[in-house]
Chains A and B, each alone.
Chain A
Amino acid sequence: MRQHVRFYLGDRLHELEGISPSLTLLDWLREHQGRTGTKEGCNEGDCGACTVMVVRSEHDRLQWRAVNACIQFLWMLDGAQVFTVEDLAASDGILHPVQQAMVELHGSQCGFCTPGFVMSMAAHLRNGGALDDAAINAALAGNLCRCTGYAPIVRAMRRASELAGEQGDPFDAEETAIRARLGRLREDEPLDMMTAAGRISLPTDSATLAALYARNPSAVLVAGATDVGLWVTKQQRDFGHVIAVRTARDLNRMEQGPQGLWIGAAVTYTDAMAALIALLPEAQETLRRIGSTQVRNSATVCGNIGNASPIGDGPPLFIAAGAILHLRKGEARRCVCLEEYFLDYGRQDRQPGEFIEGVFVPTQPQNAVFRAYKVSKRFDQDISAVMGAFSLEFGRDGLIAQARLAFGGMAGVPRRAVAAERALIGRAWNSAARDAAMEAVREDFSPLSDMRGSAWYRTTITANLLSRFFEETAEGQQVCLEGWRTVVPGVARGTGL
């Protein structure tokens, strides 16, 4: 077993022994490496000031991902190459196109968020990201700026693309070298290291993972760390033993069949996005609003289920879609309907040593309608006050045969609105059925009042979202604010800056 973590920072190889399982990439960069260009703004993955770019070789392609260094544990970088803001300019001082554009177009004021923006923009450029407003907004949703109002940064993103078109992206020339480096790291043996501070296990397949976790049920499973990262940075907890999920290669895959899509436990939202959108096209906007680019680049679909937050946006979506959860303990496997996994606040149907191996999201039937709505104080990168995902399946008689109305933010767990569903079954999807569902859904939940919304607000919009669902699916009127497009028939929008 390998006893050290190996990765490249810039073009320098680091082989680290004895590191703490709780040491974050950000602290290591700033405090151990003196790379203070990467900033700590919030230490919880919400402000993006610590954004770095992580390159991995996946399926023979290089993946360039912006991630929040504050909630990446250092050992998670094993096998990767990390670039920080200090790596972008050439050694002769020539700025990267993103840097040059930010300087030219006054994209920085206080400068503290700037390194994070620069890294997000460089990753967007590297990935050939689109330059329309919606694409830039999505690429930068995980970076907060308090000074500029974002306008000059968006201009700089477009200018950077022009500059890269003229001068080329400096990383083009690096690709071969990076491939060679990452290739050398990939051939290495699995890692299981004991250190003074704890134990770090990076199993390379699910069987090893299952055996390890069954033997060590008190270990902490870590996939993308966008949630457990905060246990360390905010709750000041220290891990004894961590077992990585994302290193299990057979879990880092999806299987698309006529019946549906199986998503392995190591698959991030970013990697699953296209397949999920293909499966649930009506949920595109809601899927895009899960976390931010940096969060989706790390966070796994199954982790979003596994942490069982009452306000995670994935679970209601997948419950409405009829998802099945695949659990495994040692060699024993079982399946549960996703909604049955969430027993109560903080309590799930998961045994000690058992873990989520994957989730299966079925293809939606032809005779069904599906919609998802997320309501939050801020449009992007906010936790929902209410998340509603609805599916209705119609019988040959045209009546509602099956209803799945799932909500987040309304109870201690993501839950279906059973009374409202009952009010719909066997009825035509008309205004009377809508009214019955809107009435019944009030009985389904007794939500809390908190900083995201009062019980009154949650209850009211829960009913109103059903009304919107009706308008859109029964009456064919799509009238809503959708990102930057206010979808109102006949009203054109400007193109922005």
Chain B
Amino acid sequence: MSMVMNGRGEAAIVEGGVSRSLRHESARLHVTGGATYIDDIPAPANLLHVAPGLSMRAHARVVSLDLEAVRAFPGVVRVITAQDVPGDNQISPVHAGDEPLLAEGEVFYYGQLLFAVVAETRYAARRAARLAKVEYEDLPAILTLEEARNGAGELVGKSFLMSRGDAPEAVRAAPHTLSGRVVVGGQEQFYLEGQAAYALPGEEGEMRVFSSTQHPTETQHMVAHVLGLPANLVTVEVRRMGGGFGGKETQANAFACLAALAASLTGRPARLRLDRDDDMTITGKRHDFAIDYTVGFDNDGMVHGVDMVLAARCGWSADLSGPVTDRALFHADNAYYYPAVRLRSEPFRTNTQSNTAFRGFGGPQGIAAAERIMDEIAFATGLDPLDVRLRNTYDTASRNITPYHMTVEDAIAREVMEQLANDCDYRTRRDAARRFNRDSQTIRRGIALTPVKFGIAFTATHFNQAGALVHVYTDGSVQVNHGGTEMGQGLHTKMVQIAMREFGLREDRVRITATTTGKVPNTSATAASSGADLNGMAVLDAIRQIKFRLVSFAAGHWNVPEESVVFLPEGVRVGSALVSFTALVKAAYMARIQLSASGFYKTPKISWDAQTGRGRPFLYFAYGAACAEVSVDLLTGENRIERVDILHDAGQSLNPALDIGQVEGGFVQGAGWLTMEELVWDASGRLRTHAPSTYKIPACSDRPAIFNVRLLEQAPNREETIFRSKAVGEPPFVHGLAVLHALSDALASIDDYRSCPKLDAPATPEQILRTAERLKSRAAG
């Protein structure tokens, strides 16, 4: 019995259950300092500390690596290099074989792991790590996307082509044609808790690793692989992360492996927590993209055809760059129907950090291109950008096929945008901004309303599975385990709510435990917004198996029809009697009924053929729209987000408060990506923005002065997801694009809205001033 059952023993809504705004399950621990992260786990007396030694060249042959001074530093126990790896020194998550854990004679970026120091104290490990004498012989390095495109840049994976219809011909035949390039920058995840792992050696090679990872199963396999052990000797556990955002989907593996290596080689427990500067210097970030587009369109602003090449800086190894650049293609339509389309990715290898997953996974970059195209058409036709956007959105009956040949069945983007435009008075405010700009020399106002349509599922179909393990103990308390990880998004809270709803129990009767490969194996990363969708259904499956047994038992035991056994907040109704949940569980145990079950779920309906670029990669789409109004100072390029209104589709929300938290936080993170967050490398390939002193994520005053966020009401998912909810992790990140376009709208006033400002991201004050100067000279000329 592994499939989800239909409503047997259905519970009435319990306080705090599904669809209610239950507070985060760890909220009290968070505010009291009691929540334990990897570095907070009490240290055993013989704990060792690990610190990495890094490459200081972008691309070089390592002529010699002199570690004598490192070894001689007081407190150092040993130094680990590639030669010390007992298993395989490769940790490419896609098995590309291009990612040594520790460098082997050649370094490929500034910051690559060269060696690791194991010492009695973190103090000693970190200080000793700086004492290596390394002799390099420099090799040619490709640092930027521009260099990669212009030179002999190689690709880290296959260029992916997605097409429908004859795009070049549709563009040629269209009344108007436009070409351009949109550049969007990368982004550091800046999880507040840096990468951390703690390894505890056990009997006969057993290794228990506590890792701040979004993907315990992969971490388990990488540790096993590096140590040369079977997976059944390695257990990976994570209770919670201090933020992940994709930055701990694969990037946690290396540090778990180093901690495990240190533990394995010394026989002592070992912990590694990266210093922030090392973390930012070593780990991969969001891919920056340069996207060349050509669009054919008509006087009504309707798109006829789109042709795009999406080039991304992937860094030194493949990592997840293949799937990330694929997803950029999957989202390059955003909410818009392209009658003919051709999209091609170019994932370039560069001598920089290996770019990786980050909330949206390439999707936001693809969407940025779609939105630029809409702006271009608006300026070319003189139409309001919102009207161009509304006209081009997918329809339901026709004009509903995506570039990957999936039919959009629920096309609600237009409805959401119109509702938001109406609610936030977009058109009146846009007129007011234009009037304001006529009289204001220095400060300009801009407003924009942009949609998001976000396909939900891993595009690699096999990842769309999940497991859970639910135990009911004989005192009536329940323990829930599942394969998803908690990184702040409230996944565990939602899982608790499902158990509360199903058993009719109070929150304090349901305990969620750390995610561990020992309880639920072969899990997928908590990524692709899929955490609640997948694990929620697996948890529900496990619970309903237990309920099925309890209902059958109760019906027989008390001689009532099964339909009359109902789990209620006040207890279990059995016929006309009310039995406490604990009493029922005790009786069932005495009758030798199994009170534990493992649940499983695989997403239905989806399929994807990467060879032909056709299929239904997504179960459904999540929608939303954001309207942003900004002010820009034309003397300095400084700007403020004055007001933001968001209407977001979370389906029938599992927890409105948590979902609104995802929308608010996602928006601010997205706006940060597109405005102040700028990654800067110097000519030697060294990342110069490697700490919060130089890399600026939004601070408190950067949130919009007026910030109205609402969830779409009465909008249950048309697909059978967990209680008809929708995934909410990544889609709201895209709302930040409204800010970029509002800034662009403000700048457009410089030449009286005659040309598209083509404002690239990040729109730092400098970028804005440059764009303003360009528009000024155009207006003058």
Contacts and interface: CB of A to CB of B under 8 A. Distances in A.
B639 to A, nearest CB: 7
Contacts of A453: 766
Interface string B19-63: 001011011111111111101101100000000000000000000
B32 A479 contact: no
B431 to A, nearest CB: 15
Contacts of B275: 43
Contacts of A234: 277, 691
Contacts of B191: 110, 112, 146
B243 A95 contact: no
B276 A111 contact: no
Across the A-B interface, the 7 shortest Cβ-Cβ residue pairs: A37-B33, A110-B488, A112-B242, A111-B30, A149-B668, A109-B488, A85-B33
Nearest to B732: A149
A103 B30 CA distance: 9
Contacts of B273: 40
B31 A380 contact: no
B642 interface: yes
Contact of B705 (A110, A148, A377, A484): A484
Given A111-B27, A137-B700, 11 more contacts: A47-B192, A104-B23, A106-B657, A109-B489, A110-B240, A111-B242, A140-B700, A234-B277, A377-B676, A379-B699, A479-B440
Contact of A110 (B43, B243, B667, B694): B243
B443 A480 contact: yes
Contacts of B194: 40-41
Given A42-B691, A461-B636, A112 B31 contact: no
Given A118-B31, A146-B192, A481 B639 contact: yes
Interface stretch (A151-159, A198-206, A209-217, A355-363): A151-159
Contacts of A236: 126-127, 130
A412 to B, nearest CB: 18
A488 to B, nearest CB: 6
Interface in A8-60: 27, 30-31, 34-44, 46-47, 49
A146 B700 contact: no
Contacts of B769: 457, 460-461
B765 interface: yes
A380 B29 CA distance: 29
A108 B696 contact: no
Contacts of B104: none
Interface stretch (A73-81, A272-280, A463-471): A463-471
B759 to A, nearest CB: 16
B638 A481 contact: yes
B635 A144 contact: no
A457 B766 contact: yes
A465 B705 contact: no
B635 A486 contact: no
A497 interface: yes
A280 to B, nearest CB: 21
Contacts of A450: 680, 688
A144 B440 contact: no
Nearest to B764: A377
Contacts of A89: 32
A377 B678 contact: yes
B669 interface: yes
B192 A144 contact: yes
B153 interface: no
Nearest to B432: A491
A378 B702 contact: yes
Given A102-B31, A103-B31, A383 B636 contact: no
Nearest to A117: B31
Contacts of B764: 377
A493 B640 CA distance: 12
B33 A115 contact: yes
B765 to A, nearest CB: 7
A136 interface: yes
Contact of A383 (B490, B665, B693, B765): B693
B613 interface: no
Nearest to B773: A460
A141 B490 CA distance: 25
B558 interface: no
B193 A149 contact: no
Given A102-B27, A484-B701, A110 B193 contact: yes
Interface string A86-121: 101100000100110011101111111111001000
B473 interface: no
B30 A106 contact: no
Nearest to A46: B692
Interface string B616-638: 00000000000000010101111
Nearest to B699: A380
Contacts, number: 282
A41 B680 CA distance: 21
Nearest to B639: A481
B701 A380 contact: yes
B638 A150 contact: no
B240 A465 contact: no
B100 interface: no
Nearest to A113: B192
B241 interface: yes
15 contacts: A31-B43, A99-B28, A110-B488, A111-B242, A112-B191, A140-B700, A141-B699, A148-B665, A149-B664, A153-B700, A234-B277, A457-B769, A457-B770, A460-B769, A479-B440
A263 B31 CA distance: 38
Interface in B742-781: 764-766, 769-770, 773
B698 interface: yes
A380 B276 CA distance: 20
A85 B490 CA distance: 22
Given A46-B692, A146-B191, A111 B488 contact: yes
B190 interface: yes
Interface string B264-301: 00000000010111000000000000000000000000
A149 B30 CA distance: 17
Given A47-B192, A236-B130, A467-B635, A144 B33 contact: no
A494 to B, nearest CB: 4
Contacts of A136: 700
- Which of A95, A138, A493 has the most chain B CB atoms closer than 10 A to its own CB? A493
Interface in B407-453: 436, 440-443
A375 interface: yes
Contacts of B127: 236
A109 B693 CA distance: 23
Interface centre among B29, B37, B194, B633 (most CB of A within 10 A): B633
A147 interface: yes
Nearest to B244: A110
B703 interface: yes
A298 interface: no
Contacts of B24: 106, 108-109, 111
Interface in B656-689: 657-658, 660-661, 664-669, 676, 678, 680, 688-689
Contacts of A104: 23
Contacts of A133: 705
A496 interface: yes
A134 to B, nearest CB: 8
Contacts of A42: 276, 691-693
Contacts of A454: 766
B26 to A, nearest CB: 6
Interface in B92-133: 122-123, 126-127, 130
A75 to B, nearest CB: 17
B487 interface: yes
Contacts of B443: 479-481, 486, 488
B33 A84 contact: yes
A148 B245 CA distance: 12
B396 to A, nearest CB: 33
A483 interface: yes
Interface in A474-495: 479-481, 483-484, 486, 488, 491, 493-494
Given A95-B31, A146-B697, A480-B443, A378 B676 contact: yes
